[in-house]
């Protein structure tokens, strides 16, 4: 909506709490920026462990985002385009990781895929050990990030409505053709914004990762874990790495915005 | 026989049967919420009936709830039934050309060949110049033309039109109606409409649905001229004078001459029909003076209550006037009177 089309004014008293809220978000970032040791910035972020953590974070977050798309798109389609008994319950369960403390998620994953877990034993027989590996990092991130993709895509599916799909099917398009040539292009902005949110959530993942994957340099120690560790010994390095994380997040959101996703 | 449908949907209070002959256009009329659009959705396969059967050109579309037979259901994409809704619903991410090419592409034809087919149909609806435009860059009338081309390009055995003119500007509706008349000739079509003119000018037969049931069915002119159902009577009962164009009016074979307005070019002598509502007709004992009017000498055959008015019938034409006017003019069957109607109230169409 353009600025000129705004006809009804806001009540003036709304502006004060809005400003306080905005300040509450911006001020800590500014405080952190003020503490950055600019003279040695490059040195602080280029230690071997930091580079390892950054690369691991980017790699695992990209894979998690991909997995979120691979599983989240079909989940959103099933939730948004079909009706079945128990659908509300299924939706609530899918969205559970949104409200679950990440540590709890990590424990749940551990008792599913860990050595003594529900499926862990079977995995072990096959010679696969999931917990405390890079795969565990990806799983922890996917677990917490998946609902973001499902929620934003299901919202996009609902607002797009099923009428274009109905027309496409009466024009002779099979379900797969309708999905590929009509549904996906229509909800592409919603899908992109969901993917960006999932990536950002994966990048920031801490609790489930440290519980399920541990903190092994180069294998499971992602950037948030590295920052937390560095804070104990070298707070200047922790602040510098935090800034790196902020920059990555801003770049991703900026790219998505250029492509019109958010 | 093209389409044969019989279906019940308890939840929507629908219990209908209808048929469409090959090459025939059937107009479905009825009040809001009577089940017209539901009927189309059933034929298209977008809704499933509780019980019912339907077939198209001898192929079964669905067969549900018939005792002793396994249920059958053909999905929408395999029915050969295209649906055109009130809104054009052009795919916003495709150009006009690719929208029209969607049907052929879905059928598995190569891109270049599909585009050639699409070009042809864009030409048929006078929209070839918009081929490269995105739907957002088209006006409502242009978009609806392209939606018609898209439906026809899919080469359906049966075309369903759900109030195709309802969302259009009054100014562009006549041109779209003319285009439909041209491209739908010889096709099997079901058109749901509110506008009695659509039925009159496009359809061979009329089906009136009221409260989920068929209230009346028959040849268009018969239903519109002698409606038996309450709904048809309310919207129809139109006066029609058939003949040939003569100057600015239509001259019937019996010499009756009615002047009116045309919304399309008609050549002198072409067969035409003049249409006007009974409520537009004034009844006089003596020919009135004043502004130019069509003045017709008639003999009353019947006086019938019609809502709060009285319908004055003559062998060909009707007029709706108040009961007070009937008393004042002392009208009775057999009375010779003069019907007067302003030329601006008469619409003339090529027939």
Query: What is the domain-level CATH number for residue A213?
Result: 1.10.3720.10
Q: Cα(B164)–Cα(B144) distance, rounded to whole angstroms?
A: 8
DSSP state, A119?
T
Could you tell me the CA-to-CA distances from A49 to A37, A217, A218, A227, B37 in Å, in that order?
19, 7, 7, 10, 66
Distance CA A58, CA A204 (A): 11
What residues in A contact B45, CB-CB < 8 Å? 169-170
**DSSP for residue A39:** G
pLDDT above 60: residue A4? no
B77 with B172, same domain?
A: yes
What per-residue confidence (pLDDT) applies to B193? 86
Backbone angles phi, psi at A169, to 5 degrees: -70, -35
Q: Which position has the higher pLDDT, B5 or B289?
A: B5
Pick the last residue of a domain from B218, B235, B252: B235
Q: Are residues B66 and B201 in the same domain?
A: yes
Q: Hey, are the CB atoms on A172 and B92 less than 8 Å from each other?
A: no
CATH number at residue B310: 2.40.50.100
Distances (CA, A) of B194 to A100, A181, B1, B67, B317: 54, 33, 26, 37, 23
Q: Is residue A15 part of a domain?
A: no
- B214/B245 same-domain check: no
Alpha-carbon separation of residue B187 from B21, B114, B154, B259 (angstroms): 10, 21, 13, 33
pLDDT at B234: 67
CA dist A73 to A76, A161, A186, B41, B54, Å? 5, 16, 13, 28, 35
Same-domain pairing of B154 and B280: no
Are B294 and B208 contained in the same domain? no
* B167 and B76 share one domain: yes
Q: Domain boundary at B235, B255, B278, which?
A: B235
Tell me, yes or no, whether B182 and B309 share the same domain: no
Query: Are B57 and B2 a contacting pair, CB within 8 Å?
Result: yes
A44-57 pLDDT, tens digit each: 888 888 999 999 99
Collect all residues of chain A within an 8 Å Cβ-Cβ radius of residue B92: 186
**Do B221 and B334 belong to one domain?**
no
* CA–CA separation, B44 and B80 (whole Å): 9
- Which pLDDT value is given to residue A2? 46
Whether residue B145 is found in the same domain as residue B202 = yes
- CA-to-CA distance for B261 and B250, rounded, in angstroms? 10
For residue B106, which residues of chain A lie inside 8 Å, CB to CB? Answer: 168, 171-174, 177, 181
Task: Indicate the number of domains in chain B.
Answer: 2
**Cα-to-chain-centroid distance, residue A130:** 21
A90 CB contacts (<8 Å, ≥6 apart)? A79, A84
Q: Using the beta-carbon criterion (under 8 Å), do B91 and A164 form an inter-chain contact?
A: yes
Residue B31 and residue B52 share a domain: yes
Q: Let me know if residue A211 belongs to a domain.
A: yes
* Secondary structure of A175-223 in HEC code, one letter for each residue: HHHHHHHHHHHHHHHHHHHHHHHHHHHHHHCCHHHHHHCCCCCCCCCCH
Both tokens of A27, joined, read: 């001020």
CB B232 within 8 A of CB B203: no
Convert A183-207 to b/e letters by CB count within 10 Å (16 or more is b).
bebbbebbbbbbbbbbbbbbbbbbb
Which range of residues forms the domain containing residue B169? 3-235
pLDDT value of residue B109: 93
Q: Which of B185, B191, B179, B186 is nearest to B125 (CA)?
A: B179
Q: What is the mean pLDDT of chain B?
A: 88
pLDDT of residue B1: 61
CA–CA gap between residue A251 and residue A8 (Å, rounded):
35
Calpha distance B225→B298 (Å, rounded): 17
> Which residue range(s) make up the domain with A156?
44-160+188-258
Read off the pLDDT of each residue in B223-251 and give the average, rounded to a whole number.
Answer: 78
Residues of A with Cβ-Cβ distance to B102 under 8 angstroms: 168, 171, 173, 181
* Chain A residues lying within 8 Å of B77, measured CB to CB: 169-175, 177-178
Query: What are the CA-CA distances from residue B199 to residues B112, B161, B205, B264, B336 (Å)?
Result: 38, 12, 8, 18, 33
Q: Name the residue with tokens 């749940």.
A: A108
- In the predicted model, is pLDDT for residue A63 greater than 90? yes
* Neighbouring residues of B186: CB distance < 8 A, sequence distance ≥ 6: B23
pLDDT band at B182 (very low <50, low <70, confident <90, very high): confident
Q: Last residue of some domain: B235, B256, B289?
A: B235
The rounded percent of chain B whose pLDDT value lies above 70 is 96
Which 91-150 residues of chain A touch chain B by CB within 8 A?
A: none
pLDDT in tens, A127-153: 788 888 999 999 999 999 999 999 999
A184 at B interface, C-beta within 8 A: no
Q: Is B131 in contact with B119 (CB distance < 8 Å)?
A: yes
Is the domain of B69 the same as that of B172? yes
How many residues does the structure list for chain B?
Answer: 351
Q: Searching chain A, which residue's CA lies closest to the CA of residue B159?
A: A170
Q: What is the CATH number of the domain that holds B108?
A: 3.40.50.300
CB of A194 closer than 8 Å to CB of A200: no
B226 and B270: one domain? no
From the candidates B91, B107, B134, B160, which should be mutated to test the interface with A, based on the most A CB atoms within 10 A?
Answer: B91
Domains in chain A, number: 1
Residue B216: is its pLDDT beyond 90?
no
């Amino acid at each position: 909506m353009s600025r000129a089309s705004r006809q009804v004014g806001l009540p003036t008293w709304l502006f004060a709490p809005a400003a306080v809220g905005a300040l509450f978000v911006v001020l800590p970032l500014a405080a952190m920026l003020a503490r950055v040791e600019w003279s040695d910035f490059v040195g602080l972020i280029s230690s071997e462990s930091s580079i390892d953590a950054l690369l691991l974070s980017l790699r695992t977050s990209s894979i998690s985002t991909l997995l979120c798309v691979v599983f989240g798109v079909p989940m959103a389609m099933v939730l948004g385009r079909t009706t079945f008994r128990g659908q509300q319950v299924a939706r609530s369960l899918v969205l559970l990781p949104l409200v679950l403390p990440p540590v709890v998620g990590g424990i749940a994953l551990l008792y599913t895929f860990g050595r003594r877990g529900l499926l862990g034993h079977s995995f072990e027989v096959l010679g696969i050990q999931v917990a405390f590996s890079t795969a565990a990092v990806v799983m922890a991130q996917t677990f917490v990030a998946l609902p973001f993709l499902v929620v934003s895509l299901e919202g996009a599916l609902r607002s797009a409505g099923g009428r274009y799909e109905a027309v496409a099917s009466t024009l002779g398009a099979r379900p797969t053709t309708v999905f590929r040539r009509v549904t996906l292009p229509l909800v592409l902005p919603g899908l992109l914004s969901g993917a960006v949110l999932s990536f950002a959530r994966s990048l920031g993942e801490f609790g489930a990762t440290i519980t399920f994957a541990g903190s092994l340099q180069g294998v499971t120690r992602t950037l948030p874990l590295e920052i937390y560790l560095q804070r104990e010994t070298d707070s200047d390095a922790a602040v510098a790495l935090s800034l790196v994380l902020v920059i990555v997040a801003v770049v991703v959101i900026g790219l998505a915005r250029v492509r019109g996703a958010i | 026989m093209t389409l044969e449908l019989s279906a019940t949907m308890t939840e929507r209070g629908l219990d209908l049967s209808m048929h469409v002959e090959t090459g025939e256009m059937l107009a479905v009329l009825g009040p809001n919420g009577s089940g017209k659009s539901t009927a189309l959705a059933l034929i298209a396969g977008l809704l499933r009936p509780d019980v019912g059967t339907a077939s198209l050109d001898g192929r079964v579309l669905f067969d549900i709830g018939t005792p002793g037979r396994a249920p059958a259901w053909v999905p929408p994409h395999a029915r050969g039934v295209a649906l055109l809704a009130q809104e054009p619903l052009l795919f916003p991410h495709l150009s006009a050309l690719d929208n029209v090419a969607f049907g052929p592409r879905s059928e598995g034809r190569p891109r270049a060949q599909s585009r050639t087919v699409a070009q042809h149909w864009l030409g048929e609806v006078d929209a070839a110049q918009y081929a490269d435009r995105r739907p957002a860059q088209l006006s409502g009338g242009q978009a609806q033309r392209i939606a018609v081309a898209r439906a026809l390009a899919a080469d359906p055995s049966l075309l369903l039109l759900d109030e195709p003119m309802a969302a259009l500007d009054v100014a562009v509706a006549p041109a779209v109606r003319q285009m439909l008349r041209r491209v739908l000739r010889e096709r099997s079509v079901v058109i749901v409409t509110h506008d009695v003119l659509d039925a009159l000018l496009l359809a061979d037969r009329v089906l009136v649905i009221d409260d989920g049931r068929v209230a009346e069915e028959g040849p268009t002119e018969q239903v519109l001229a002698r409606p038996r159902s309450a709904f048809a009577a309310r919207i129809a009962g139109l006066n029609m004078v058939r003949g040939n164009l003569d100057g600015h009016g239509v001259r019937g074979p019996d010499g009756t001459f009615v002047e009116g307005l045309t919304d399309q070019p008609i050549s002198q002598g072409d067969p035409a029909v003049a249409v006007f509502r009974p409520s537009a007709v004034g009844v006089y004992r003596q020919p009135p003076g004043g502004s130019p009017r069509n003045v017709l000498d008639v003999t009353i055959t019947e006086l019938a209550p019609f809502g709060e008015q009285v319908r004055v019938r003559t062998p060909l034409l009707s007029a709706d006037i108040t009961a007070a006017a009937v008393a004042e003019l002392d009208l009775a069957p057999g009375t010779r009177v003069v019907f007067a109607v302003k030329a601006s109230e008469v619409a003339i169409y090529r027939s």
